[in-house]
Chains A and B, each alone.
Chain A
Amino acid sequence: MTNEEIKEYIPTLAPAATFDETGEWLNVIVSAEELKPLMSALRNGKMQMNYLFCLTCVDFKTHLNMVYHLSATTHRQSIVIKANLNREQPVIETVCDIWSTAEFLEREVFEMFGVHFTNHPDLRKLILEDDFKGYPLRKDFEDPINMIKL
């Protein structure tokens, strides 16, 4: 499917989606509530995006941005889905039930950025110690002992 076809197909699943074509692949920006139905449809619908190869979060100082890179093993087309989250209360629906790889990836985003994924089967710290305080990958994370400002 070409970019134009995708740009016509997506608003049927998520009406408020915006597009950004400056990068290598088509970026689709949706709100946090629209994410789950869009993901389900992309996985099970006609695009058959069965391969989630990167799930991460980016901290822009005013808001958090969830980034999902999807691809399909049949037609090898990639697409990037982004969702903006509020910095004070970042809540978003999990996509574990659609792609099992999201289980570990979302745990990592949770401990690094503080994003809470609803309906996640086992949301707890993966790499950091259990009693670690704070969210390290946020830009406002201060650690006077371990962080050296160059």
Chain B
Amino acid sequence: MYNQTEIIKDTSELGADGELVINMGPQHPATHGVLHLVVTLNGETIKKIEPHLGYIHRSIEKMCESLTYRQFIYVTSRMDYLSSHINNLGCALLIEKGIQIEVPDRAKYIRVILSELTRIASHELWLGAMAMDLGAFTPFFYAFREREMITDIMEDTCGARLTMNYIVPGGLMYDLHPDFQKKVKAFITQFKSKVTEYEDLVTNNIIFQSRTKGVGILSAEDAISYGCTGPVARASGVSCDIRKIYPYEVYDKVEFDEVLETAGDSFARYMVRVKEMNQSIRIIEQLIDNIPEGDFVGKTKNVLKLPKGEFYTRVETARGEFGVYIVSEGGTTPHRIKFRSPGFSNLSVLNHIAVGGKIGDLMASMGTLDLVIPDIDR
């Protein structure tokens, strides 16, 4: 094979010209997860950022080659643990598409409600963590108050608070908890009354605005070229909401807006996520009273076998487009799985937007990119 020493770049050129090379992470309060950034600074200005990944690499893609089609779905909960339902949904949709399983309507409605609740919970955690990075410690607790209500709902229905293995190919694993509708409605009422608190405390705060406006600007062409999806791209004006463009489940039957901003800076990314939370509440409101009765899972065989061929499905997680690509040789285990994770492409844009700014801006940019490292390392 090739001589690897030829390919490895000479790292001694970092640190020339009196530049300071510092390491951020892997254990650092601001990098959410184990991310190691090697930052080259000239005074306070950033010259280059190089992410070193792999601290939480668990070789998921190789592992899934020896797991059956019923088993591999739940590994994706551990990848982007804040959008676990949505990741599971992506895998389940793929298998249903491949084997042509009929999913009952009840399951579809519930899966969409759970996806939107997960999206809100993920954005709440992001809000708290990002405000904490910038020095405002209080919004963290307020955001977690709402998130606690969602995890309680999940715990009743799915049995777990973070890695909720509930969605199976064909529908759901078991039926809803009887209190589900009541608790979701209580949550909606509380959320609507509290969302003004976030506005007053964070959004309208002039210190917060001056730290995020004009920081980390990403243009639309760069966003598309770097493969950014989700709120990162929508803040630059790129319309890429999978729920609108390639609707799945019942997203074509509900009314909601795709939130777009044009500024492309950190404040725009922040506003996109805050408005997305409101849109998710709108979707849940439309669906929660109309869940049809019936089966919660379609008829499937015990052992699933995908026919020979290739399949690709995409869903919109809280971070962007999550794609599952399976190459099947007709057996009970996949021949090759590739997970197209949104964080991977969003991270690659960090070097582009943070170079030339200051260290304080790096915190704002990284916070608004909303990176979850297990999603990137897989």
A56 interface residue per 8 A CB criterion: yes
A105 interface residue per 8 A CB criterion: yes
A130 interface residue per 8 A CB criterion: yes
CB under 8 Å from chain A, chain B span 325-378: 325, 327, 335-336, 338, 340, 344-345, 347-348, 352, 377-378
Shortest Cβ distance from residue A70 to the other chain B in the assembled complex, whole angstroms: 11
Alpha-carbon distance A73/B325, docked complex (angstroms): 20
Which of B9, B221, B229, B338 has the most C-beta atoms of chain A within 10 angstroms of its own C-beta? Answer: B338
Residues of B near A8 (CB, < 8 A) are none
B7 interface residue per 8 A CB criterion: yes
- Nearest-neighbor residue (CB-CB) of A128 within chain B: B54
A140 interface residue per 8 A CB criterion: no
A122 interface residue per 8 A CB criterion: yes
Alpha-carbon distance A130/B8, docked complex (angstroms): 9
B66 interface residue per 8 A CB criterion: yes
* Contact flag A53-B59 (CB < 8 Å), given A100-B348, A130-B8: no
B265 interface residue per 8 A CB criterion: no
Q: Is the CB of A126 within 8 A of B348?
A: no
A46 interface residue per 8 A CB criterion: no
Q: Is the CB of A123 within 8 A of B7?
A: yes
Q: For the complex, count residues of B whose C-beta is within 8 A of A.
A: 43
A101 interface residue per 8 A CB criterion: yes
B39 interface residue per 8 A CB criterion: no
Alpha-carbon distance A53/B338, docked complex (angstroms): 12
Residues of B near A67 (CB, < 8 A) are 325
Q: Is the CB of A54 within 8 A of B312?
A: yes
Shortest Cβ distance from residue A126 to the other chain B in the assembled complex, whole angstroms: 6
* Contact flag A124-B227 (CB < 8 Å), given A58-B336, A104-B344, A150-B66: no
Q: Is the CB of B309 within 8 A of A22?
A: yes
Q: Is the CB of A129 within 8 A of B62?
A: no
B193 interface residue per 8 A CB criterion: no
Q: Chain A 48-67 against B: per-residue CB contact (8 Å), 1 yes, 0 no?
A: 00111110101100000001
Residues of B near A53 (CB, < 8 A) are 227, 229, 314, 321, 323, 340
Q: Chain B 296-322 against A: per-residue CB contact (8 Å), 1 yes, 0 no?
A: 000000000000011110100000010
Alpha-carbon distance A23/B336, docked complex (angstroms): 16
Residues of A near B377 (CB, < 8 A) are 127
Alpha-carbon distance A50/B227, docked complex (angstroms): 9
Alpha-carbon distance A94/B207, docked complex (angstroms): 44
Q: Is the CB of B309 within 8 A of A114?
A: no
B129 interface residue per 8 A CB criterion: no
Shortest Cβ distance from residue A94 to the other chain B in the assembled complex, whole angstroms: 13
* Contact flag A104-B347 (CB < 8 Å), given A53-B321, A76-B245: yes
Which of A101, A137, A150 has the most C-beta atoms of chain B within 10 angstroms of its own C-beta? Answer: A101
| Listed A/B pairs (17) with beta-carbon separation below 8 Å | A23-B309, A24-B310, A50-B221, A51-B224, A53-B321, A53-B323, A54-B325, A54-B340, A59-B336, A73-B239, A101-B348, A114-B1, A114-B2, A116-B2, A124-B7, A129-B54, A137-B336
Given contacts A101-B345, A127-B57, A128-B57, 14 further A-B contacts (CB under 8 A): A24-B312, A51-B224, A53-B314, A54-B323, A56-B338, A58-B327, A100-B227, A101-B225, A103-B348, A104-B348, A126-B54, A127-B54, A127-B378, A137-B336
Residues in chain A within 8 A of chain B (CB atoms)? 22-25, 50-54, 56, 58-59, 67, 69, 73, 76, 99-101, 103-105, 114, 116, 122-124, 126-130, 136-137, 149-150
Residues in chain B within 8 A of chain A (CB atoms)? 1-2, 7-9, 53-54, 57, 59, 61-62, 66, 221-222, 224-227, 229, 238-240, 245, 309-312, 314, 321, 323, 325, 327, 335-336, 338, 340, 344-345, 347-348, 352, 377-378
3 closest Cβ pairs, A-B complex: A101-B227, A127-B54, A56-B338
